Structure formats: structure tokens, C-alpha cells
Amino acid sequence: MADARVPALSCSGLAKSFGGVRVLEDVSFDFEPGTVNILAGENGAGKSTLLKIISGQERPEAGSVSIFGNTVTHFDPRHTRGLGVGIVPQELAPVLDRPVYENLFLGREIRGRSHLLNHGEMVRRAHEMLEVFELDIDPRVPMRYLSVASMQLVEIVKTTTSGARVLLLDEPTSAIPEREVEVLFGVISKLKAQGVAVVYTTHRMAEIEGIGDRVVVLRDGRLVLDRAVRELTEADIVRAMIGRSLGLLFPAKALVDSDTQPVLEVRDLRVETRPAVDLTVRPGEIVGLGGLVGAGRSELLEGIFGVRPSVGQVELGGRRVPRGDPSAAIALGVCFVPEDRKRAGLILSLPVLDNGAIPNLRRFTGPFGWFRRRLAEKVVGEAAEMTQLKSRGLSQLVETLSGGNQQKVVLAKWLTRDVSVLLLDEPTRGVDIGARSEIYRVIAGLARRGVAVLLVSSDLEELLGLSHRVLVMRRGEVMGELGPDEVSSPEAQERVLRFATGMVDTALAW
Amino acid sequence: MGMYGRVLLSALGRRAMIVILLAIIVAFALLSDRFATLSNAQTILQGASALSLLAIGQTLVVLSGGIDLSVGSLVALSGVIASLVVQGNPDMLLPAVLAGVGVGLFAGLVSGLLVAVAGVPPFIVTLGMLTSASGLAYVFSNGSPISGLPENFLAISSGSVFGVQIPIIIMVIAFAAFLILLTRTAYGMRLYAVGGNPTASRIAGVRVPVIYVSAYAASGALAGLAGVILASRVTAGIPTTGAGYELDSIAAVVVGGASLLGGRGTLRGTALGLFLIQTLNNGFDILNVTSYVQKIVKGALIVVAVFVDVHANRRRS
């Protein structure tokens, strides 16, 4: 174990610019061995660049990095790896069709005397490695059968067992369900005990308090906060990240008249083989769907919209929405913002204009199927403006936009038409706080115009902060409901969790 | 690649292909005085005409995220069917043309339905169609050329209007029509969207299967038309006509900068790719370079062109 007085990771005076824009300016900090250090900041604050410099993928213009007292001389991943830096990127790239143990030993395979691979030994050692972290993963199954969370844990095990003493985790929880976060935290605690210095980037406040010893906040490339987590409140951290206080994050909820007839009525709807669900949403009402990942919330939205098979009744202002036909649902005014914008929400290879125009092509189609470009430009341009989309124009390819702006395009494309029901699945996943408050304003604004909103969110603050009512689901069933008064009560979070986990009497440490 | 190479390539950008084509034309013009003549230009265009129809169809299919390996066999099948209909009977000209195009359209519909509805991968579906259609062409022709075709059928390839051969006119019309379809209509936008991301397109309300089926149907019908033109040119329906054309059409599309993953590519690029390949073939013929050597160069060209395109466009993505 290294001398406790030598920092595991020490950065001093780091600076970097891209194309004349300063992305890091005089960043200095020391991280001790055996600590978890949160690197926080909005998208574009410089977190990724900082991680790239520490892991040797980028060279700083000024300043230096040292690992356990050894100064990095070449900013090259092989050199920094040799000094003990390991990085688990946000987007993993495992070899999906090969077993877990081969992934663990890729590049450092165990060979027998004949120089042929010793599979038995690799499986045995892989077992040991996973056991140390109390992970219930069979090293012989192909990577493909693992959840994203498990793949990430395998990657962490791989990195630390190949000698990483400074472990960089880039938004490790952005793609994994809440209940598996616990397992990740367990692994991180074990690494701490082994004296590894963990650097952890995240957007989620709960994680900073749950796992962090220390938090370093970057804003516009400068270090604006560097303190022990226990000395700070959530509000302190948010204020440091966005440079103002968060009071206005959630717009005020407009009143919904409880006498109004519901516009969306779901009766006895069974999505695939799940239990039947009934729910209603009034015009102007935002109804939240709470629950753990896997509770069937996304599946319910997909069933209502028609991209997932379902039986039962969905009515829109008294008109029946046919099952399994998204284009019919769209024609009736239903729209859907899916959870995974890159996979299902956007056509990355096309410009903003095309993405915005596609849900509404009938309106932009003239005689002989002619595409009415001018009209589309006007309508999509207005929608983009409503969401405060920051782009170089409507012809910019969506793949070159930031995550928050991509999500605004997903919203904007539904603003080009008359919408009566908006189905939102995790609308702010991976979106930074600044863009999030803009997205919240758009959602609240639509509700105020009379749109009925059904919102799935795993972020409890978001769920309770936006919704008029919250339905909590577990194993495909609605287990409970929080009414308008209950949503804003101090016990709201706890009640959602009790319904979600089914633990009615057990105290929850969350 | 050196510094200068990289600077040069990124300066070329989208213009890379057209610069290469012009360079090749200038080189051949300097090497032979028979190259840069009006009649040779007609020869190149005439030679490209049938293949251009296949390349247009292939562009649609590739943009949708698929691939159509069946077009070469459909050329043969369509040529044989049209020849059987019109053989010794000049009155059957129009039915023969319709039969040729129709058989291609039908085969394309079958492929499209298998891809869109049955969910079989395009490579497999069209590989199967390639083999079966070739077999059908042999069955219908009994394995030998169907000749004795009337004058009016032969005029499809040899006739001309205002001094321009009919196949060239067909090619120009086809390029213009499909260029408009891809860049100016809602259908074109949907095709790019489906190729770029079928899941997101479905959620945006696009009827994805319709787009798939239409792309293969168009490719099949265009292959049928090409089959009619080629049967007319070789004055017989021959079951070996068009063999290997599927690869030539794919070459034109990828040299033209389209992505085989779908969603990216232009008809303009395909046209440039096609004329690049055709001009090389023609120039080498004039210089008496053997077809074996031509093949080597063509193979290298495909790889080099895509390499240039990838590097010239890398900065933008």
C-alpha cells in the first residue's frame, strides 16, 4: 500500500483548449488513496476533458499530473496505465459474444506450457476475481447475457485486477437501474478498502451523498468547489454546478380542474403478459409513473403508444386508439418520447429539420408527395425555439449535438403538431441541469396548453417535482397513488419507495 | 498518411470523387485521341445505361439499410421473359416490356416482404432470390438464347430520339426522377430516416415495412427494365446476361459514398461512382488493356475511393 501522505492522483495547473476555446483553466487538486472523489459539473464543464488528460488520451497545454508521486511524462494511455490509471468509459465496448472470463483476460491471457490458452485456469481465476467483489456472475456465460450494469462491473473488475490504483468511472450509473447501483456501490467500497482512489463523475445528487468522500465541481473549465461531501448540502453543490440556486428548477404546477373529463383513459390494458392496468389522465395534468426499473413502466407507455403488443382499451377523448399501430396513435394526437433517444428517439445521421419533420410529414407533404421544405423549416424552427435548442441551424446533423440538445430535438419534433397526450419515458436521462430545467419548462408549458402528460422517471425529485399525481408500479401493477397534496408532502419520496419495493413496514435506508 | 495528404483530402471533401473522375478523364484524353470524342462519350453513356438503373435501385435499398444481391439474376430473368413474349411477334412489344419490368417488380416485392414482414436479413433474402431467379431464367430459356426478336424490340437499344440513344434518355429520366424522389419528397425523407434508425422512425409514425418493400420493389422493377434494354442490345434473351451486375451496382453505390449501414448516401454520389467505373473500363478498352488488368484496377479503385471518402469526410463527423 502506498504511503498515505503521497496523493494517489495529483493534478496541478491543468489547462486545455480546443480550437481557441478554453475547456480547462488552472485545475488543481489532490486525491488520497482509498477515497471516492466525485467529479461534478454540467455537460461541457470540462469533466470529460479532465478524465481524458488523466487517462493519457489528451495532452494538457499547461500543468502536470502525477500518480502516487510519479509524474506523467507522456500523455499516452499505455504510459498512464503503467502508472496505475484505469478508466471505465461511459460507453462500454465488451466483446459481446465471448464469455465473461475471456473479456476479463483479453490482452493478458493465461497460457499453458504449450503456449496454448489455459481456459480452465482463466475460468478459475475469473471466479476468484468476481468472488472478491461478491458478484454473482458466471464467468463462462457470454457477455451478451449480462445486464449493462453487470457488464460495467466486469469492466471495473478487469481494470482493477490489471493493476489500476486510480480508477476513473465516467458516469457509471447513467445506464443502469437504481437497484443495481447498490451493487456498484458495494464494489466501490471494496476498492476503497483496497486503497484505490476512485474518481467518479455523475449528474445524480443522491449518488454524491451516497458514495462520495469528496466532491470537486467544475464550471466552464474552472474548479469552483473542492470540499468534503459531509461539509456540504445538496444545494451548495447544485449552486456550484450551475452558478445560481436551483429554486426555479421545477416550474409551478398549474391547477387542474378535477371535474374535467379525462382525455386519456386506459382500461384493463395488458401489455404482453403483464397484469391489467387502469389509469386516466385529464387535459393539462401531469401524471407520474414511479417504480423501480423493471416495474413495467416503460413497457406500459410502449403498450399505450402501440410499439409493444397489448390487449385492452385505450381511449382518447372517447375515441378508441387501435392496439399495435403507432401511426394511428400519432394521428389521434398521442406522442411518445422514448427512454433511449439514440436508439429510438432520433435519426442521428439526419439534420434537425428532418428529425423534426418526420412525425408530421403529412402536413409537410404537398401535391405529388412533394416535401414542403419552407413550411417545415418554419414550423420546426418555431418548435426548436420553444425548446431553446442550441444548434448551428436546422441543417446541423443531430449526431453532432450535445445530449441535452438532442433531447430537445426529440421534444421539438412533437411540438410540430397538435398533441393531446404526451408519453415521456425518462425525458432527462443524461441531460445536464441547465438543459433539464429548460426541458421541464417545455413539459409544464405543454400541460398548461391542455396536453395530458404521462411521465416515467427514475429521478424521484423530477417525478414529484413535475407531476400532479403519481402512480407507483411494481411488477407491472399499479400498487399505489399519491394525490396532488401527497406529492408535495415531505414523506412523498419514502411513500413512492415503499410502494415500489413492496416493503410496507420495513424502514428504507435510501 | 502525411500532413499534406490529410490537408489535401479534407480540402477536397465532398468534391473528392468529382476531382478523381475529372483527373481520370484528362489522363485518358492525353493518352489517346480516340477518348475525348463525342461518339466515345455516347459509348460510355450507352454502356452505363442499363447498369445505371440497377445502381439507382441499389441506392434505394442501401439507403434503407439493406442490400440487393438479386439484381443481376433479375436482369437475366426479365430479358428471357420479355424475349419469350415478343419472339417472332412484333405486336407484343408493349406486353413484352411490361412482362420484363413486371417480373422484376414481382421478385422485388417478394424480397421486400421477406425482409420487412418475415424479418429475414436482406443479404440472405436477396442471395436466395439471386439463385432462384437465375434458375428460373435457365428453366424458361431451356438454357439457350432466345433469339429471333423483332426489329421494334431491338430498336429499344439501337433507336434514338434527336440523335440520342433511347437507353441514354431512359437513364437520364430515371436519374432525374429518383433524384427528385430522394431529395424533394416526403417518401425520400422517410427512406433516409428508416435507413438511419428504423426504431425511431417507427415511433415517429413512419410505416417502416412499407418503406422496405417499396425499396426492393423499385430495385426489382428497375432491374426488370434493365433486363429488357440488355436483351434488346444483345438481340436475345440469354440466361447469363447480367451475371455479376449486382456487384457492379453495389460498387457504384459505395464508391459514391453511401454507407452500407443505411441512411447515408446520395444519388449524385452513385452517379459519380458509376461513371468513374464506366470511364475507367472504356479508357482501358481504348488503350487495349486486357479485361483481367481492368478487374485488378477496378477492385483497387473501389477500396481507394471509399478510403478517400472516409478520410475526406472524417472531420465533419
B263 touches chain A (CB under 8 A): yes
B211 touches chain A (CB under 8 A): no
The dihedral region occupied by B191, where left means phi > 0, alpha psi between -120 and 50, and beta the remainder, is: alpha
A344 touches chain B (CB under 8 A): yes
* A436/A381 same-domain check: no
A-chain residues near B265 (CB < 8 A): none
* A268/A359 same-domain check: no
A-chain residues near B206 (CB < 8 A): 327, 358, 361
Inter-chain touch A371–B196, beta carbons under 8 Å? no
* A258/A168 same-domain check: no
The alpha-carbon gap from B206 to the nearest alpha carbon of chain A, in Å, equals: 7
Contacts of B205 (CB under 8 A, 6+ apart): A326, A327, A330, A331, A358, A359
A369 touches chain B (CB under 8 A): yes
- The answer to whether A436 and A424 are in contact (CB under 8 A) is no
Contacts of A485 (CB under 8 A, 6+ apart): none
Rounded-to-integer distance, Cα A317 and Cα B224, Å? 50
* CB nearest B203 (choices: A344, A397, A400): A344
* Last residue within a domain, chosen from A417, A433, A465: A417
Q: Is the residue at A4 inside a domain? A: no
Q: Is the residue at A3 inside a domain? A: no
| Residues in chain B, pLDDT under 70 | 1-14, 312-317
Question: Closest-CA residue in chain B for A346?
Answer: B200
Strand A70-71 to A310-316 pairing = unpaired
B189 touches chain A (CB under 8 A): yes
* Residue carrying the nine cell digits 416550474: A251
Q: Is the residue at A339 inside a domain? A: no
Q: Is the residue at A1 inside a domain? A: no
* A397/A385 same-domain check: yes
Inter-chain touch B201–A326, beta carbons under 8 Å? no
Which ranges in A361-426 belong to alpha helices (H)? 373-386, 403-415
Rounded-to-integer distance, Cα A45 and Cα A79, Å? 26
In chain B, where are the structural domains located?
A: 40-311
Rounded-to-integer distance, Cα B110 and Cα A349, Å? 29
Rounded-to-integer distance, Cα B211 and Cα B217, Å? 10
Selection from A329, A275, A262 nearest residue A302 by Cα = A329
* A40/A135 same-domain check: yes
Rounded-to-integer distance, Cα A374 and Cα A136, Å? 57
- The answer to whether B267 and B162 are in contact (CB under 8 A) is no
pLDDT tens-digit readout, A413-433: 888 878 899 999 999 887 877
How many interchain CB pairs under 8 A, A with B? Answer: 81
DSSP A272: T
A-chain residues near B188 (CB < 8 A): 371
Inter-chain touch B189–A371, beta carbons under 8 Å? yes
| Residues in chain A, pLDDT under 70 | 1-4, 19-20, 43-44, 244-248, 503-510
Which ranges in A416-454 belong to alpha helices (H)? 433-448
B186 touches chain A (CB under 8 A): yes
Inter-chain touch A400–B184, beta carbons under 8 Å? no
B200 touches chain A (CB under 8 A): yes
3-class state of residue A470 by DSSP: strand
A358 touches chain B (CB under 8 A): yes
* Last residue within a domain, chosen from A199, A216, A245: A245
Selection from B131, B106, B123 nearest residue B219 by Cα = B106
B-chain residues near A361 (CB < 8 A): 186, 189-190, 206
Inter-chain touch B203–A347, beta carbons under 8 Å? no
DSSP B73: H
B-chain residues near A422 (CB < 8 A): none
**Domain region containing A147:** 9-245
Strand A21-31 to A452-456 pairing = unpaired
Inter-chain touch B317–A400, beta carbons under 8 Å? yes
DSSP string covering A178-201: HHHHHHHHHHHHHHHHTTPEEEEE
Q: Which residues pair with A507 in a beta bridge?
A: none
Q: What does the pLDDT read at residue A242?
A: 73
* A275/A381 same-domain check: no
Q: What does the pLDDT read at residue A244?
A: 61
Q: What does the pLDDT read at residue A249?
A: 74
Rounded-to-integer distance, Cα A323 and Cα A308, Å? 9
Q: Is the residue at A213 inside a domain? A: yes
Q: Is the residue at A138 inside a domain? A: yes
A395 touches chain B (CB under 8 A): no
The alpha-carbon gap from A370 to the nearest alpha carbon of chain B, in Å, equals: 4
* CB nearest A350 (choices: B186, B196, B203): B196
* Residue carrying the nine cell digits 439534420: A351
Q: Which long-range contacts (CB under 8 A, 24 or more apart) does B292-299 make?
A: B298/B251
- Largest Cα–Cα separation, chain B: 66
CATH 1.20.1630 correct for B40-311: no
Question: Closest-CA residue in chain A for B180?
Answer: A370
Report which residue type is found at A118.
N
Q: What does the pLDDT read at residue A507?
A: 42
3-class state of residue A140 by DSSP: coil
Distance from CA of residue A418 to its chain's centroid? Answer: 29
DSSP A506: S
A399 touches chain B (CB under 8 A): yes
Top residue of A336, A342, A346, A349 to mutate, by most chain B CBs within 10 Å, is A349
* A57/A118 same-domain check: yes
* A65/A169 same-domain check: yes
B192 touches chain A (CB under 8 A): yes
The alpha-carbon gap from A409 to the nearest alpha carbon of chain B, in Å, equals: 12
HSE-up (13 A, CA, CB side) for residue A257: 6
Inter-chain touch A371–B185, beta carbons under 8 Å? yes
Q: How many CB atoms lie within 10 A of CB A27?
A: 23
* A281/A214 same-domain check: no
Question: Closest-CA residue in chain B for A325?
Answer: B205
Selection from A238, A187, A185, A193 nearest residue A212 by Cα = A185
Report which residue type is found at A305.
F
Inter-chain touch A357–B190, beta carbons under 8 Å? no
* CB nearest A349 (choices: B185, B199, B264): B264
The alpha-carbon gap from B181 to the nearest alpha carbon of chain A, in Å, equals: 8
What CA–CA distances, in Å, run from A233 to A35, A367, A478, B276?
Answer: 19, 60, 34, 66
C-alpha cell at A339: 427512454
Q: What does the pLDDT read at residue A424?
A: 95
pLDDT tens-digit readout, B84-104: 999 989 999 999 999 999 999
B202 touches chain A (CB under 8 A): yes
Question: Closest-CA residue in chain B for A399?
Answer: B317
* A176/A289 same-domain check: no
Q: What does the pLDDT read at residue B210?
A: 95
The alpha-carbon gap from A417 to the nearest alpha carbon of chain B, in Å, equals: 12
N-terminal to C-terminal alpha carbon distance within chain B: 19
∠A446-A450-A452 over CA atoms, to 5°?
A: 80
* Last residue within a domain, chosen from A186, A210, A245: A245
The alpha-carbon gap from B201 to the nearest alpha carbon of chain A, in Å, equals: 7
N-terminal to C-terminal alpha carbon distance within chain A: 33
Domain count, chain A: 3
A-chain residues near B196 (CB < 8 A): 347-350
* A398/A424 same-domain check: no
3-class state of residue B160 by DSSP: strand
CATH number, position A479: 3.40.50.300
Q: What does the pLDDT read at residue A421?
A: 95
* A90/A203 same-domain check: yes
Q: What does the pLDDT read at residue B227?
A: 97
Q: How many CB atoms lie within 10 A of CB A64?
A: 14
* CB nearest B207 (choices: A327, A359, A368): A327
B185 touches chain A (CB under 8 A): yes
